[in-house]
Each structure stands twice: as structure tokens, then as C-alpha cells.
Copies of this chain bind each other. A is one copy, B any other.
Amino acid sequence: MARLNDNYLKLKAGYLFPEIGRRVKAFTDANPEAKVIKLGIGDVTQPLAPAIIDAFHKAVDDLTQGDSFMGYGPEQGYEFLIDTLIEKAYKPLGVSLKTSEIFISDGSKCDCANILDIFALDNKVAICDPVYPVYNDTNVMVGRTGEANEKGYYDGLVYLPCTEENGFTPAIPTEKVDIVYLCYPNNPTGTVATKEALKQWVDYALANEAVLFYDAAYEAFITEPGIPRSIYEIEGAEKCAIEFRSFSKTAGFTGVRCALTVVPEALMARTEGGELTSLNKLWNRRQSTKFNGVSYPVQKAAAAVYSDEGWAQIQETIDYYMENARLIREGLQAAGLTVYGGINAPYIWLKTPGGMSSWDFFDKLLSECHVVGTPGSGFGPSGEGFYRLSAFGDRENVIEAVKRIKENLA
């Protein structure tokens, strides 16, 4: 008698974004004439850069002839892409990585979920609250938790509240944990961590033999100097951190699919018997056995992000989004709202007016302004009373959305 994984049944209703999708569909079905502006899911809207398109086409053409045809590639990714990342993405930060330490994948969502495969179930895991729901839900699915309590916290996970009071900066845990998820620039709050703050985490991890899962999916949006773009800018991080990066937001690859995960060779964890063993080898084995590499033309397109032309072109798009962020942030402030983020991150984290609940504010903006954002409570109990807007829209839509919200709240 086949038995299913009961841990899945502990998950609360739908994953956040499908739930938003359902509500939006219900509204648009009932109001087909409404021009709904979506600043919710954080999907990019601007075209791929010309240099990326060129490389993409050229790589597709490679597949038209026997002598340039590419079949199975390395499960870890092509060296042309990995070595480009080492040179162009990490070396300028003073971070030195080896080819064997970077693994190309089809998405950071997959990687930050799949990374759990190589860890024992009895590790104590800490996540921020609010948080990208995937960190929470994948730990539930794998069986690391009990049921959720009435607040939505799952028994067995350690939650680190990020609140207005602590500047959305989680306190170092007082108890010992083995794995900590960090995300900077932060989704959903739009905050960043200073070198000093990250050093505290690295020190904690080294002292406790913990592993940091560092999600740097939004590093390209850092505008202020001195803010670290990689955890490996912190001394000792190569001994305690796995970093996730993505082309999704950096270069508009949400529909193209390419990301990378860094597992340094110096990073160790203990076997049941207490022996220190390389996590790089385990992840390599995981990827070799359960993954077959990223589409060759996609990897060629990704490498073109770091060409001189490609780099200049994606910066223009990033600037465009960050100007959106400024317009949203300043517009909402002018409307009297309390607003966070939007300076080093493409997300604006706003406090709902009058203590309204996140979903009530979601429904209000949807029905009255025809604007879709993301309810803060969808990211965790401490997100209640907040609401996330994304800067990834078209300029025209951003301006119109801000105008509608200002008028509505006036």
C-alpha cells in the first residue's frame, strides 16, 4: 500500500502567490473592465538586453549543426559560465572561488529548496519572520517540523522576528541552531545587512558549527557603497556559508531560468559519527544524480550578462527598476504611509494604514485601486500589518499605481 508524505498535509492552504492569483482572477472575472496593475509577485517586466538576446540566438544556432551541437552538459554547469562568474561577479568583490565551488542551476528557488537534501533531518533550522515562504515550506515538506500553531509558526523551526522595532534586523539566536537562512537585500522587507551585521552571523556560525544559507538573489540592486554583495566578503564565511544567486532579477531571467549556488570546498558538516566532511562533495553528488544541467543556450545567454555590452545594458534596466522603487517609496511617503526598503532593493515594505490587516489592505487596494501587491502576513506572522510592493513594473504602471493609491488614501 503506497503511502504519501504526510508532512505535505501540514502545509497551510496554497502557497502565497497562487492564493494571490486566485483572488485576482476572482476580481477580474467579476470586473473584466478593470485595468489591474500587478506589483505583487516581483516578476520582471523589461525585455532581455540585446547582448543577451544575441548570445541566446547564437547558441540556438549552435544546435543546428553536428560540429557545434551540444548534448548533455556538465551537471554542474559549463566552465565558460562558471569561470565568467568567478572573474566578473566575485573577483571584483575580493572573493576568490574555484570552478568546482560554483554550481549552475535553473533557479534559486530550486536550489534553496534542494539544498536540504544533503543535511540530516535533525538539524535545528532558523528562518527570519517575515520570510520568503519557500524556506519555511520546504522544511515542513521534508519533515523537520510538527504542525503549525494558530499564529502560523511550525513547531520545530526557530523563527527570528524582523519587526519595525528591530529595524527588520533579526537578532542572533540565543539558542544553538545548525542552519540559518539569511536573505540580503531582503525579500520581503527590502532591508540590507552591513558588513558588521554579517560578521556577527559568520562569527556565530563558526562558533556553533552552523551553516548559513545566504540568499543574495537581489544583490544587483544594492546602490549604497559599502553594503556587501556576497557573504564571502566576510572573513571566514567560506567555512560556514552557502550562497545562492540568480539571474532572474539581475538580468530579467525569470522566464529564462538560470541561477548559481556556491558551496565552498572549505565548508564542512559533521557525519553522525562526528567526522567533518565536505558539503561540496555531497552537493556535487546530489546534482550529478538528481539534475541534468541547465539548457545550453540559457547558459550562453547568462554568460553574456557579464560581457561589457551586456553588463552596461542590464545596469540600465536595474536603474530603471530602482527609479520605480524611488517613485513608489516617495509617492507613498507623500501619501502619509510609513515605508521601508526601496533603496538597495526592488521591494517596498509599507506599513498598512490604521492597523489594517495585510489581507484586508490587499483586498482594499485590489478592489478600490485595482493594484495588486503582496500581503506582508503571507511572508510570516511578523509581516502582519505590512504589504510589499515590487519595483519591477513598467514605469507607466508604477506611476499610475502610485497615483491611484495616493488618491485612495487621501
Q: Residues of A at under 8 Å CB distance from B?
A: 1-6, 8-9, 11, 15, 18, 41, 43-48, 50, 53, 56-57, 60-61, 63-66, 69-73, 106-107, 109-110, 113-114, 117-120, 122-123, 133-134, 137-138, 141, 176, 178-179, 208-211, 252, 254-257, 269-272, 277, 279, 282, 285-286, 288-298, 394
Contact = CB atoms under 8 A, between A and B. Distances in A.
Nearest to A66: B47
A66 B208 CA distance: 48
B114 A290 contact: yes
A313 to B, nearest CB: 12
B2 A210 contact: yes
Contacts of A295: 106, 255-257, 295, 298
B288 A3 contact: no
A393 to B, nearest CB: 11
A256 B71 CA distance: 8
B209 A1 contact: yes
Contacts of A211: 2
A71 B248 CA distance: 9
A201 B133 CA distance: 40
Given A53-B63, A71-B254, A298-B295, A270 B3 contact: yes
B269 A2 contact: yes
A44 B120 CA distance: 37
Nearest to A291: B110
Contacts of A271: 3-4, 6, 9
Contacts of A72: 41, 43, 254-255
As for how many copies of this chain the complex holds, the number is 2
Given A2-B210, A210-B2, A137 B289 contact: yes
A70 B176 CA distance: 44
A73 B106 CA distance: 13
A60 B53 contact: yes
A208 B47 CA distance: 53
Given A64-B47, A71-B255, A72-B41, A107 B5 contact: no
B53 A71 contact: no
Contacts of A69: 45-48, 252, 255
A3 B272 contact: yes
Contacts of A18: 288
Nearest to A285: B8
B109 A291 contact: yes
B291 A107 contact: yes
Contacts of A113: 289-290
Contacts of A179: 2
Nearest to A209: B1
Given A106-B292, A296-B255, A178 B2 contact: yes
Contacts of A255: 63, 69-73, 293, 295-296
A274 to B, nearest CB: 9
Contacts of A254: 71-72, 292
A67 to B, nearest CB: 10
Contacts of A44: 71
Given A43-B72, A257-B294, A394-B66, A6 B120 contact: yes
A290 B178 CA distance: 22
B256 A63 contact: yes
28 contacts: A1-B210, A2-B178, A3-B120, A5-B118, A5-B119, A5-B120, A6-B272, A8-B286, A9-B277, A15-B288, A44-B71, A46-B66, A47-B69, A48-B69, A50-B64, A63-B256, A71-B254, A106-B257, A106-B292, A107-B292, A110-B291, A134-B289, A141-B290, A255-B295, A256-B296, A257-B292, A295-B295, A297-B297
A405 to B, nearest CB: 23
A295 B254 CA distance: 8
